[in-house]
Amino acid sequence: MKSATLERLRAARAEKKLTALVTDLESGAERLFIDGEVIDDETTGTSAPSHHSIAATDGVVAAVAEACRKDTSRVIEDGSRRLLVRVFHPPKRLLVIGAVHIAQSLAVMAREAGYAVVLIDPRDSWATPERFPNTEIDRRWPEESLADLAIDRRTAVVTLSHDPKLDEPALSAALASDAFYVGALGSRRTHARRLDRLRENGFDDEQLSRIRGPVGLDIGAVSPAEIAVSILAEITQQLRVA
């Protein structure tokens, strides 16, 4: 790996860009992709292949796209060459608003699924380390905390508090961001009323259609843990299939 490639990889990762590096396992020749775009060779300044870079053929581009979508590194065969496709995506995050019972299960499950979980709830008696061991707790109001947490496209946001004072500012912030998933707990009636209020705040129907509500896949979930499963399943579906 060239030092310049290492620096570009780290810079792109810091900017939350989706990066993939393709490397010839025999020669070490490489080609960087950032957000699906072929990055020019550092030495030649073009995307043309050279002895230390790889041609971005249709096959290579398709394999990179597939690896990025599935977020998994892999080896591909390109003619007689074996190419290593390494995916360097920023970590997945889940921001949960409302330290309710469902959140207790969801925090644990999401962490197991590879998410960095942040629990947001300004109410002292709800968001305690005893109820949420090993979870990052943010006791600020959602408006302030979400502005600070810089929601990106590897972030999922789900509101569970049942309190419009907490949930709605969080949904507004999520809709104004690149979050790949926005979910809101609440019955159909609650959700309809919530959408009306958000509409009054200037969001149009297309923007509001990003909110998954009632939250979670319809698997007949009853208990808080089962509802957490349905939410995590929906987040996974949005991440992998959408």
Partner 1 sequence: MAVYSDGVMADPNDPLDQLAAWRSSGRNAALATVVRTWGSSPRPVGSLLAISDRGEMEGSVSGGCVEAAVVEAALEVIRGGSPQLLEFGVSDESAWSVGLTCGGQLEVFVEKVE
CB of 10 to partner 1, least distance (A): 5
CB of 62 to partner 1, least distance (A): 18
CB of 144 to partner 1, least distance (A): 21
Is the Cβ of residue 77 or residue 196 nearer to partner 1 in the bound state? 77
Tokens of 22: 């393709």
Is the Cβ of residue 23 or residue 172 nearer to partner 1 in the bound state? 23
Is the Cβ of residue 13 or residue 69 nearer to partner 1 in the bound state? 13
Is the Cβ of residue 6 or residue 176 nearer to partner 1 in the bound state? 6
Is the Cβ of residue 21 or residue 96 nearer to partner 1 in the bound state? 21
**Residue carrying the six token digits 């009632």:** 214
CB of 23 to partner 1, least distance (A): 7
Q: Are 182 and 122 in contact (CB under 8 A)?
A: no
Instruction: Please report which residue ranges of 23-127 form alpha helices under DSSP H.
Output: 58-70, 101-112
CB of 71 to partner 1, least distance (A): 10
Tokens of 7: 């620096």
Cα 38 to Cα 220: distance, rounded to the nearest angstrom: 45
What does residue 208 show for φ and ψ, rounded to 5 degrees? -65, -25
CB of 63 to partner 1, least distance (A): 13
Instruction: Give the containing element (helix H, strand E) for 87.
Output: strand 81-88
Any idea what the Cα angle at residue 150 is, between residues 113 and 225, rounded to 5°? 30
CB of 11 to partner 1, least distance (A): 6
Collapsed DSSP state (helix, strand, coil) of residue 140:
coil
Is the Cβ of residue 76 or residue 233 nearer to partner 1 in the bound state? 76
Is the Cβ of residue 13 or residue 140 nearer to partner 1 in the bound state? 13
User: Which residues lie near partner 1 (CB under 8 A)?
Assistant: 1-3, 6-7, 9-11, 13-14, 23, 25-28, 72-75, 84, 86-88
Collapsed DSSP state (helix, strand, coil) of residue 48:
coil
C-alpha distances in Å from residue 6, one per residue of 3, 30, 32, 51, 191: 5, 11, 10, 18, 46
The one-character DSSP state at 42 is T
Cα 166 to Cα 227: distance, rounded to the nearest angstrom: 20
